[in-house]
Amino acid sequence: MNLNIAVLPGDGIGPEIIEEAKKVLNAVAKKYNHTFNYEHGLVGAAAIRATGNPFPDETFELCKKSDAILFGAIGDPEFDNNPKAKVRPEQGLLAMRKKLGLYANIRPITTFKPLLGKSPIKAEIIDGVDILVIRELTGGIYFGDRGRNESDNSAYDTCTYSKAEIERILHYAFREAMKRKKHLTVVDKANVLETSRLWRETAQEMALQYPEVQLDFMFVDNAAMQLIQFPKRFDVMVTENMFGDILTDEASVITGSLGMAPSASAGDMTSLFEPIHGSYPQAAGKNIANPMGTILSAAMLLESKGLTEEAEEIRRAVTSALEIDVVTEDIKSSSKMSTSHVGDWIAVNIK
């Protein structure tokens, strides 16, 4: 197979972890006789410094013409520490999602046997966890009207959802549930929020189209607790933008490290694949960041193109690395292995 991949390293540790994912993809390409072509683009703080725009038109055009997007991370202390900054790296991420129509964020939450002891949650609670969290990505409070009222020194952020936006993401979630254990949990706050009541009403209506799927509902505060106490009760979980952002970061502790968690964002155009961690600027340039979340995101990229065997080969190599402690310091504090060493080992293991 010939794939054209847009590579957006971004900020902080983004360039480092992206290089390791490319090493692994190249190892897969060599072993399975594929051709992966890479073209790099600017996004985030790097793009602001070069063009003044966190998601330049050139990057948008590159993404549109590519078969998939491999993305690192966005964020920079220069902008984080300046509340008056008019242009921010995170605006590039929101613009990318909106312009590419990336309305569905897919985050698998699974456990690795060698890491069961690394999670703060008891091993017997998390062993065998396999959750697919689907987060609506282009609506809600992150995209609603916002502003400040200087007369009374107040601020506002508005959460808005249309029925069409909700139906679109729910159809995606129902279809994913059909591929798995046919159990879908809709997470909302319908006892308080009007948008959540619309989510719940819409899901109840749509359930008639998917009679094989067991549908249940859970308030977000209860879901946050249940994720830690009884994570194996979940199969597919779907929720709105901000709730999904918070819950998926919480669920990452199940895996043993935020650095292990991959994700994909799908929608109207080219799909994007990225680790869920941020740009971790404190580690930038130190060659200590965990590349496994990015490497596992590359596996999701291949799987989306029907290359299931190749994706499983990557996951097998990652598991092998974990089994013999070929890991960075976030997994084992005494480890002296670098980002590039872990990437090299996984790539060689695949070859």
Q: Is 344 a catalytic residue?
A: no
Instruction: Please enumerate in sequence order all residues whose Cβ is within 8 A of that of 50, keeping only pairs 6 or more positions apart, or say none.
Output: 42, 56
Q: Is 142 a catalytic residue?
A: yes
Q: Is 11 a catalytic residue?
A: no
Q: Where are the beta strands (DSSP E) in 114-166?
A: 130-136, 146-149, 154-157
Q: Of residues 221, 268, 286, 325, which has the active-site annotation?
A: 221
Q: Is 130 a catalytic residue?
A: no
Q: Of residues 23, 76, 142, 161, which has the active-site annotation?
A: 142
Q: Is 249 a catalytic residue?
A: yes
Q: Is 334 exposed, middle or buried (0-12, 13-18, 19+ CB in 10 A)?
A: exposed
Cα separation of 178 and 207, whole Å? Answer: 12
User: Which residues are paired to 186 by β-bridges?
Assistant: 217, 238
Q: Of residues 23, 189, 235, 330, which has the active-site annotation?
A: 189
Structure tokens at 123: 């091993």
Cα separation of 93 and 272, whole Å? Answer: 11
Which has the closest alpha carbon to 272: 243, 240, 300, 306? 300
Q: Of residues 67, 80, 130, 249, which has the active-site annotation?
A: 249
Q: Of residues 161, 245, 280, 330, which has the active-site annotation?
A: 245
Provide the total of helices (H) and of strands (E) in the chain, helices listed first: 13, 12
- What is the set of active-site residues? 142, 189, 221, 245, 249
